Amino acid sequence: MRHASDHLIALDGVRLATRAWLPRADPLATIVLVHGFGEHVARHERLATDLARSAYAVYGYDQRGHGYSGGDRANVRRFDDLLDDLQAFVDELRHTTAGAPLVVFGHSTGGSLALRGVQEGRIAPDALVLSAPLLRFVGAPPRPVVAVLRALSRPFPRLPTLTLDPKHISRDPLEVDAYRLDPAIYHGPTKARIGALMLEHGAIALERAPAVGTPALLLHGTNDRIADVDATRHLERLLPEATLRLYHDGPHELFHDAHRERATADVLAWLQARLSPDATPAAART
């Protein structure tokens, strides 16, 4: 396996840091990793390495305002900016990895972004893997409160709201400490603009799920204190072709928890069934 780092210039000139984990053999498929809010793609180094060692070419980028990319720190002007970046990155890979199946693997807000990308016709992957997709927050505020937040986010886009408790990402104290000490992670409060957009587009992603024909693997811990697992259960019922894997007492970040090995094995087994030349929809759901 080999690593590569580079950058992509977004449509509006923002510099996006990119990374790749490449197998030595010809790849079985191309996997695009889309990370969650506040973090950066290199946090998923272990997962990307496991996938690359199983002959998948893995690519990812730090979303604007995140990690080592440019842009307003942990904030955006428009949700379309995030869709533009995802589309540009996927389009670039389509040119350089022509012929290989494309899988988009989104975690948390990266999962809802991947769904919205498909729904808006920005990307057309052969398969989706969604880890704890943030379709609805645990204890999400009622609609009137969301409406107030959306209204406030226009004149005050950087207005601080809630701050993530790192204890909710993993049951492993070492993983929690690593998160707290990572200087590339945004540790401040969620700003009003991006908070309102996450709430709005998570709901839209769920509402429009029946129109997503892409086969999807859904992974979620049953004790996620950030992304509502019931929303993912509902997503599985709405998607035309979906497989749901639940992990007992699992937190928000399954791949930084004791469930990591089982979740990785589930992903690899599903990809093999889904992408093998003689795969059938029934086989892919096993």
Please write the tens of the pLDDT for every residue from 236-264.
999 999 999 999 999 999 999 999 999 99
CA distance 279 to 215: 12
**Which residue of the set 69, 108, 153, 170 is catalytic?**
108
CA distance 91 to 88: 5
- 218-246: b (≥16 Cβ within 10 Å) or e: bbbbeebbbbbbebbeebbeebeebbbbe
Question: Average per-residue pLDDT in the chain?
Answer: 95
- Is 108 part of the annotated catalytic residue set? yes
Comparison of pLDDT for 142 and 58, the residue scoring more: 58
Domains held by the chain: number: 1
Write down the pLDDT at residue 183. 98
AA letter at 39 = E
Please write the tens of the pLDDT for every residue from 39-64.
999 999 999 999 999 999 999 999 99
Please write the tens of the pLDDT for every residue from 71-125.
999 999 999 999 999 999 999 999 888 889 999 999 999 999 999 999 999 999 9
CA distance 37 to 41: 11
Paired with 247 in beta bridges are 221
Q: Could you say which DSSP state residue 160 is in?
A: B
- Is 224 part of the annotated catalytic residue set? yes
3-state secondary structure of 224: coil
Write down the pLDDT at residue 280. 54
**Which residue of the set 66, 201, 252, 256 is catalytic?**
252
**Which residue of the set 81, 224, 257, 266 is catalytic?**
224
Alpha-carbon torsion angle 233, 273, 93, 6, nearest 10: 80
What is the arithmetic mean of pLDDT over 17-36?
97
Domain span holding position 186 = 2-284
Please write the tens of the pLDDT for every residue from 187-211.
999 999 999 999 999 999 999 999 9
CATH number of the structural domain spanning residue 267: 3.40.50.1820
Q: How far apart are the first and last CA of the chain?
A: 29
3-state secondary structure of 5: strand
What is the arithmetic mean of pLDDT over 257-273?
99
